[in-house]
Structure 1
Amino acid sequence: MKEFLVHSPSELESVVRYVLPLLDERPIVALTGDLGAGKTTFVSQIAQHLAVIDDVSSPTFSIINTYQRKNGQYIHHIDLYRIEKNEELVQIGLDDYLHSGEIVFIEWPEISEEYLPDHVLRMRFEHIDRQCRKIVIL
């Protein structure tokens, strides 16, 4: 377990640099935390380092955003906040994304736990105060 205290988006850089090499062995990342805790901001910043050529935005309403990298590979950003039933996970093709071999970030992963492989990289985002977030990597 590794913890970071982050006071600004620029301080998120140290978290990104820590996580990047972990993605080689654990390309599925489960992101938990309250609304506004910084999950999408983290995905956006790590996407820059992974040479994503698309704009990164929150998939809260689209549920899944797929971003292309300069090398032709893809990153999938999934937000399960609005998913209420396991059947919906099947309908959106979650299993296909999880077995694609590509990097997958999942916000609000709780409903998908039974589908997630054992080697998932887990990150928890916590509000400490208005200016500070604690990010725990499990």
Structure 2
Amino acid sequence: MHLTIPIASLDDLPQAAAQVQAALGEHKIILLEGEMGAGKTTFIKALCHQLGVPDYVSSPTFALVNEYRDAQNRPIYHFDFYRLDDPQEAINIGAQEYFDSGYLCLIEWPSRVGALLPANRLLLTLTVTGPSSRELRITNEQ
């Protein structure tokens, strides 16, 4: 599956998040790639809101993982591996157990833990196209 969603401004984030939610299907591992400042965490906030997360969603840059609960009280795990020096750090926090949990895992900077990632996943690539516009590409990875 390849789907491209234009995001003209922040006002378009709820609609884009709804499209991603519809595209999730059975996928539980969601990778988010994009340059620094592309809006990965901002998009995750919109997606979590779409999924019914009542909590404040923020980047787990230093903690590496945050846990939220969706509208059905199921966990959602949000990872940010930007500051990871070695994939062993992800192993030490139990990343593989999170990935194998069957719950939604939203992973920023996934290339830093590439060897640890399960095969069946969705890749969301955010590309900056203007001062407040982005393009979101969804790719099914097997």
TM range (shorter): over 0.9
What is the letter of the counterpart of residue 7 of structure 2?
V
Structure 1: 4+ residue segments shifted above 4 A: none
Partner of 1:108: 109
Aligned-pair Cα RMSD in Å: 1.3
Normalised by the length of structure 2, the TM-score is: 0.90
Deviations 1:52-71 (A, max 9, x none): 12110111122111012242
**SS of residue matched to 1:100:** coil
Once the 2 structures are TM-superposed, how far is the Cα of residue 22 of structure 1 from its aligned partner?
3.0
Q: CA deviation at 1:15?
A: 2.0
The whole-number CA distance in structure 2 between the counterparts of 1:36 and 1:30 is: 16
The answer for the alignment partner of 1:10 in structure 2 is: 11
1:72 aligned partner, one-letter code? N
Which residue pairs with 1:68 in the alignment? 69
SS for the counterpart of 1:129 is coil
- Distance, in Å, in 1 between the alignment partners of 2:53 and 2:14 is 16
Moved more, 74-83 or 9-18: 9-18
TM-score (norm 1): 0.93
Cα deviations across residues 65-124 of structure 1 (Å, max 9, x unaligned)?
101224221111000001121211111111011011111100000021112122110011
What stretches of structure 2 of length at least 5 have no aligned partner? none
Moved more, 121-130 or 8-17: 8-17
Q: Which runs of 5 or more residues in structure 1 are unaligned?
A: none
**Residue of structure 2 in register with 1:131 after alignment:** 132
1:23–1:103 contact (8 Å) kept in structure 2: no
Which residue does 1:57 correspond to in 2? 58
